[in-house]
Structure 1
């Protein structure tokens, strides 16, 4: 029942957000009672944390696997990482981050933010820090990844736009202006 609760809760949290999802909705979708739910989790916030913990473990494993694949160029790694997030996260990252910052307790927000840093940001930052990829001097990897996530987030709710995402990653990495030849 524990995994079934997480499966249903993940689907609801990721489509509606934390605030709009109730424990009643979770139990109705599962066909169980509230006491059954509370046998496994003390409160809704605990369910959300365990959903995000499970999701972040999967995300981190896959992002690191892609980032270390020797058969991909850096651009291909970033694109495949972005495509993975697009497939795994058919929801708005901004809604998720808003929920974490403004809806949950401060303690839970901190725990979830640490998961986010470790599982989502770190694989991208480590990729940018590798010697094979040189950022402009004024750009640090953390800033580059923040900007990349803004770009990726705009494609998460539209999983059929892989070509556009590919073009956008290319523009992100190399810009839109061709070097002027004189």
Structure 2
């Protein structure tokens, strides 16, 4: 790779990093391309040259974050361990140094064109839901028979949603301080009601 290509790659990475921080903190509608250009220290026309539109840049950010999350999920599937240990590890892998504000992305979808919404949903399906389905399917023998892996995946994401926010967001902290992630994941694995044998 020559020096020009290296500079281009570094500039694109800088734009994506700045856009990701701004989008995940402020939301799609509140962020302008001028803000992204200033945060990434590039001229606004260069941003349009590389990405075309704010929506395309947003999609590039979502795809990058989704790919990162898919890789994190895959990394937790190796090795042995109980469901509880693996779920605890997975929860921390997805939330420690997390760059995605899942609730913000869900909110932002309404501001995207239908084709872009479809791409975001596909990215979630391929990079988040399907890998989590495979993760929980690997523990099928430990799950209650009445629950399918997709139901467990969706429940897991509901439990994890409050922790899937970047550390610099204003809403972060209050709920997490009251219920630490480890405790929430333990409750996810064990439930909160006593079994018939325990009564």
TM-score, normalised on structure 1? Answer: 0.87
Question: 2:139 & 2:85 partners in 1: Cα distance?
Answer: 16
Question: 2:61 & 2:100 partners in 1: Cα distance?
Answer: 14
Cα drift, residue 62 of structure 1: 1.6
Cα drift, residue 114 of structure 1: 0.8
Q: Which of 36, 52, 59 is 1:26 aligned to?
A: 36
**2:142 match: secondary structure:** coil
For residue 77 of structure 1, what is the aligned residue in structure 2? 86
**2:163 match: secondary structure:** coil
Cα drift, residue 15 of structure 1: 1.0
What does the per-residue CA deviation read over 1:5-41, in whole Å, with 9 as the maximum and x for residues that have no partner? Answer: 1111111111111111110101122233221111111
Question: 1:133 & 1:54 partners in 2: Cα distance?
Answer: 33
Q: Which of 106, 124, 136 is 2:132 aligned to?
A: 124
For residue 87 of structure 1, what is the aligned residue in structure 2? 96
Cα drift, residue 90 of structure 1: 5.0
2:189 is aligned with 1:170: no
> Residue 163 of structure 2 contacts residue 181 of structure 2 at CA under 8 Å; is this kept in 1?
yes
Q: Which of 48, 51, 54 is 1:44 aligned to?
A: 54
In 2 relative to 1, CA 110–146 (structure 1 residues): closer, same or farther, beyond 3 Å? same
How large is the RMSD of aligned CA atoms in angstroms?
2.3
> Residue 72 of structure 2 contacts residue 94 of structure 2 at CA under 8 Å; is this kept in 1?
no
In 2 relative to 1, CA 15–3 (structure 1 residues): closer, same or farther, beyond 3 Å? same
The answer for unaligned runs of 5 or more in structure 1 is none
Question: 1:61 & 1:90 partners in 2: Cα distance?
Answer: 14
Question: 2:141 & 2:19 partners in 1: Cα distance?
Answer: 39
Question: 2:119 & 2:46 partners in 1: Cα distance?
Answer: 26
**2:180 match: secondary structure:** helix
TM-score, normalised on structure 2? Answer: 0.80
Cα drift, residue 132 of structure 1: 5.1
What does the per-residue CA deviation read over 1:82-125, in whole Å, with 9 as the maximum and x for residues that have no partner? Answer: 2122124355312211212x111111111111111111112221
2:156 is aligned with 1:148: yes
